[in-house]
Copies of this chain bind each other. A is one copy, B any other.
Amino acid sequence: MRLRYAGTAYHGWQRQKNDLTVQGLVEDALNAILKCKTNVVGCGRTDAGVHAMKYCANFRTEATIPADKLHLAMNARLPDDIAVCDAVEVEDSFHSVFSCEKKEYTYFITNSNIRDPFLENRTWFFPAQLDLSVMREAAAAFCGTHDFSAVRSVGTNVKTTVRTVHYFDVERDGTQLQMRVCANGFLYNMARAMVGTLVFASLGKIKPEEIASVLEKGERSLAGPTAPACGLYMTGVWYGGKAGEMMLK
């Protein structure tokens, strides 16, 4: 299934006992349709308040509902801030997390001294003028293969903290700043901590040329703060050895 959701109302993707989550609602809808308890595997644990323009989740079922009708049945049962865009049958070996080759997150900042009421909970409202060229220099320092411990929040166990950032582009369109970062994987809070470091660099609190040594030292306190969840969107996920957004074989 390919999904889109606005994360404002949810405690992230992952099902939790007492909080409303996207996975919880998606599974509830699916269980009601398939009349069978089904586990839905999402491509990542987006945090509370984080959004997804492109998100992939898979499940196994012996039910015979046609894949190309599933999104209609699902959307009839889901709230308006979650949508299933489409669904396709995939090979047995497919797994939303393990088959994933790379992901893209995009972070939006409204860089203006007047907030935009229509972007409440959708971007990080940041009034102080940000310097695109410094942020680009800082973003370039994250590209490549590094140990990303310095921009990781603890809380999850991972085998390795080494990741490869394929690109980290920073663009400005009027008052909107857009940071698009693609990697073979993201550690917990890594995207938001990198964005926070770009903003820190723009404010002169860290020099872009210092980022390499910050990564080397691996100390979280040396990098910038974690940017707010509301500006972050999952915007791409690639599968199956072929580049292409949400390519499902």
Interface residues in chain A, defined as those with a beta carbon under 8 Å from any beta carbon in chain B: 4-6, 51, 53, 71-72, 75, 80-86, 113-118, 120-122, 125
Contacts and interface: CB of A to CB of B under 8 A. Distances in A.
A82 B51 contact: no
Nearest to A80: B120
A81 B117 contact: yes
Contact of A120 (B6, B117, B120): B6
A114 B78 CA distance: 12
Contacts of A82: 117
16 contacts: A4-B116, A4-B117, A4-B118, A6-B117, A71-B114, A72-B113, A75-B114, A80-B115, A80-B120, A81-B117, A81-B120, A82-B117, A83-B115, A83-B117, A85-B114, A118-B122
Contacts of A121: 80
A85 B117 CA distance: 11
B75 A115 contact: yes
A118 B75 contact: no
Contacts of A81: 117, 120
Nearest to A72: B113
Nearest to A115: B83
Contact of A117 (B5, B86, B116): B5
